[in-house]
Amino acid sequence: MIKGIIFDFDGLIFDTETHHYNVLNDIFIEHGSTLPLTKWQEQIGTQTDFSPYVYLEKQLKLKLDHNALQDTFEEKLHAKLSTEKARAGVENYLQSANELGLKIGLASSSNYDWVSTHLKNLNLFDYFHCIKTSDDVETVKPDPSLYLEAAKCLQLDVQECLVFEDSANGSLAAKSAGMSCVIVPNEVTEAMDFCEVDYRISSMSEISLEDVIEIVERANSK
Contact 25, 33 (CB under 8 A): no
Query: Which one is catalytic: 8, 143, 166, 198?
Result: 8
Query: Which one is catalytic: 10, 15, 166, 198?
Result: 10
Quote the strand ranges of 58-107, DSSP E.
Answer: 103-107
49 carries an active-site annotation: no
- CA neighbours closer than 13 Å in the CB half-sphere of residue 80: 18
Contact 128, 150 (CB under 8 A): no
Q: Which residues contact 221 (CB under 8 A, 6 or more apart)?
A: none
Q: Which residues of 62-79 are buried (b: 16+ CB within 10 A; e: fewer)?
A: eeeeeeebeeebeebbee
211 carries an active-site annotation: no
What is the DSSP code (8-state) at residue 86? P
Phi and psi for 2 in degrees, rounded to 5? Answer: -75, 125
- Known catalytic residues are 8, 10
